[in-house]
Amino acid sequence: MSDYRLGAEDLLQITLFNVPEGESGATPRVTETRVSQQGVITLPLLGDVPAAGRTTAEMEQVLKERYAAYLRNPLVGVSIKEYRSQRVSVIGAVRNPGVFQLTGPKTLIDLLAMAGGVSDHAGRQVHLYRQGPNGRESQIFDLYALLRRPDADPAEIAKLVVQAGDVINVPEAGMFFVDGAVKKPGSFPLNRPYTLSQALSAAGGVDFELAKTSEITVIRRQGVNDIASVSYNLDAIKAGNAPDPSIEAEDVIVVPVSGAKYFVRRFVGSLISGFSVGSLVY
C-alpha cells in the first residue's frame, strides 16, 4: 500500500533509471539497502539518509533531491523487497493473543485473523491504541460491522491499515471503555452496576489538571446502525445538582482535555461517520 511507512529492517531497492545498466561510475543503477535500527539507509555518494517513517514516494523525492548534486535530473525509484519493520500486538478476547511480525501492509481485519479470530467471550468493540505525535491515540471499531464488510471500498479499508507499534485490544463482552483525561484509560468489566462517576473512578479518576469536567461525553449504541452521545457535567453531579447516570455495556466515556473541545468533537463526529462505513473510528 502506498501509505506504508518504512521502518527498521525493511529491505529497499533503489533504482536510478537514467544511469545506464552496467555503466561504471560512482553509483550503480540498482542498489539494495536495508533500513538500520537507527532508521537510516546508506547509499553510495549519499552516505546515510533517514528513511524510517517515510513512504516510498517520500523517499523517492528525498533521494531525487540528494542525487541532484551528482546527476542531472535524476529519476529515482524506491521499492520494498522485504517488509520487516511492523510488529503489532493483539490482546484481549482473541484465540491466539501475541506480538505479530508483519510481512507487508496489513489491516485490522488481517491482524484479527492472524490472532486466530475473536473468542466466544468477545464484545462488539475493537480498540486500537497508537502512539501519535501528541501521545497515545485511541480508535474504536465495531467488530460486527468489520466482519460484515469483507468487500468494503478500498478507501475505507485503507483507514484500517495498522502501523508498527499498534496495540489491538478486543475487550470481552460486558465491558465499558474510558478515554481522554483520566489516569488509567482503557477497558473495564461491567461486573456490577456502575454510575458515570464510579466508572471514572475505575479508570483511576479524572486528571483534574487537564480534564474539562463540564463536558464529559458518554457514547452508546442504539440499534444496529445508530449511536447516541450525551454530555454530562461531572461538577454538577458531584455537587448533587444533576443525576449520576448509569453506565451500560459497550459504553464509551470520553473526558476531554480542558480548552480542547476538538478532542470530543473529532471523536464523536468520526464515530458517527464511521458507522456509515461499518466501523467505529476516530
pLDDT in tens, 17-63: 887 665 545 567 889 999 998 999 999 889 999 998 899 999 999 99
Right CATH number for 11-82 from 3.30.1950.10, 3.40.50.2300, 3.50.50.60, 3.40.50.150? 3.30.1950.10
- Tell me what the mean pLDDT of segment 270-280 comes to: 39
Cα gap 250→133, rounded to integer Å:
28
For the stretch 200-205, contacts whose Cβ atoms lie closer than 8 Å and that sit 24 or more positions apart, written own/partner, are 200/234, 200/253, 200/255, 202/178, 203/178, 203/253
Cell readout for 227 is 449511536
**β-bridge pairing 167-170 and 87-92:** parallel
Q: CATH code for 86-168? A: 3.10.560.10
Q: What integer is the mean pLDDT of 251-269?
A: 64
Max avg pLDDT among 64-78, 129-143, 253-267:
64-78
Intrachain domains 11-82 and 174-282 with the same fold = no
Q: Tell me which residue has cell 465491558.
A: 175
174-282: CATH topology is Outer membrane lipoprotein wza fold like (3.10.560)
Domain boundaries, the chain: 11-82, 86-168, 174-282
